[in-house]
Structure 1
Amino acid sequence: MDFLLTPNPGLVIWTTISFVGLFLALKKYAWGPILQALKVREDTIEYSLQAAEKAKADVEEMVATRQKMMDEAKKERDELLKDTRALKDSILAEAKESAQEETQKLLNVARKQIETDKLTAINQLKNQVADMSIQIASILIDKEIDTDEKQKELINKHLDKANFN
């Protein structure tokens, strides 16, 4: 077993030449393609990471855009509801005002009609009272004043002095 511990110069030289040859062959034919494959793989991974980052940024941008669009839609909906409520309130107020005006007009017309009817009724009542007074006076004194016109004038003069209200 001594031969394992003592180096043989021929063996060392041939081992060194074999090692250098194998090293040069591996460097030329194995490490170059392996390093090239590793470089391609590294570039692919880098590109995939960049694509993933870009996709993530795109998704975040789409989420922000979607949220912005939803906010705008909510704002438009709120504005539309506000405008609709304002229009409804305006229409109701206008209808109420119109109804009040119409009611007031009808009340004014009714009051005028009542006043006119009242005056007509008073005048008719005065005329009837005057006619009845003439008939009663004619019957009582059995004497007539010259004309009916003078009688009515006299009675109306006395009735105007009297207050029937």
Structure 2
Amino acid sequence: MQLLTPSFGLLLWTLLAFLIVFFVLKKFAWKPILASLNEREKGIADSLESAKRVKAEMAQLKSENEDLMARAREERTAMLKEAKDTKDRIVAEAKEQAKIEANRIIADAQQAIQAQKMAAITEVKNQVGKLVIEVSEKVLRKELATPAAQEAHIQGLVNEVKLN
């Protein structure tokens, strides 16, 4: 029970000890404690400000990244479209070149066929001409075996030439 109702002396000595500790702490410890608290508060405020700046920079970087990604997608789309157009153009040119080449080959083949046909016809005509000459020569030799027959045939050819 003594602790619940302390005596006057105990209160006085407790108050005196408290005041001595308070003044000693105030004289030697209070300024460094307050300085470190102020420093800590300033450090925390600086850290919060720095965090806000970093957050703002991150948001800006994120928006720049999104812009870059959008531009990259647009460029990729444009490049793919250009590549597709180039491919289509090259394929069309190749088809057109193939058609031109095929038509040229066909025309060359037709000319070659025509030339061979004409050569064959000429050869046949030459052979027919040779055969006609050979047959005519044989027939004429038989008919013109006598000099009188030769003279009559020559006379007939002269008369024919005069008529024409």
- 1:89 matches 2:65: no
Gaps of 5+ in 1: 5-10, 12-21, 155-165
Specify which of 110, 126, 134 is matched with residue 128 of structure 1.
Answer: 134
Instruction: Give the whole-Å Cα distance in 2 for the aligned partners of 1:48 and 1:149.
Output: 130
Greater relative contact order structure (CA < 8 Å, 6+ sep): 1
Could you say which residue in structure 1 is the equivalent of 2:150? 145
Whole-Å Cα distance in 2 between the matches of residues 66 and 148 of structure 1? Answer: 103
Residues 64 and 83 from structure 1, CA distance in 2 versus in 1: closer, same or farther, beyond 3 angstroms?
Answer: same
> Residue in 1 aligned with 2:55?
49
| Structure 2 unaligned blocks of 5 or more | 8-14, 16-25
Query: Please, which of 101, 105, 110 is the counterpart of residue 111 of structure 2?
Result: 105
Deviations 1:118-165 (A, max 9, x none): 2232222222111111112345x88523145857xx9xxxxxxxxxxx
Letter aligned with residue 113 of structure 1: A
| Shift in alpha-carbon separation, 1:149–1:121, aligned structure 2, 3 A | farther
Aligned match of 1:72: 78
1:6-25 equivalent positions in 2, closer than 5 A: none
Identity across matched positions, percent: 9
- Find the counterpart in structure 2 of residue 63 from structure 1: 69
Q: CA RMSD in A?
A: 3.6
**1: CA distance between counterparts of 2:133 and 2:86?**
69
Paired residue for 1:161? none
TM-score (norm 2): 0.61
Residues 86-126 of structure 1: CA distance to partner in whole angstroms, max 9, x if unpaired?
22222221111101101111111222222222223222222
Separation in 1, partners of 2:94, 2:135: 59
- Separation in 1, partners of 2:66, 2:79: 20
Task: State the SS of the aligned residue for 1:98.
Answer: helix
Q: How many residues align?
A: 135
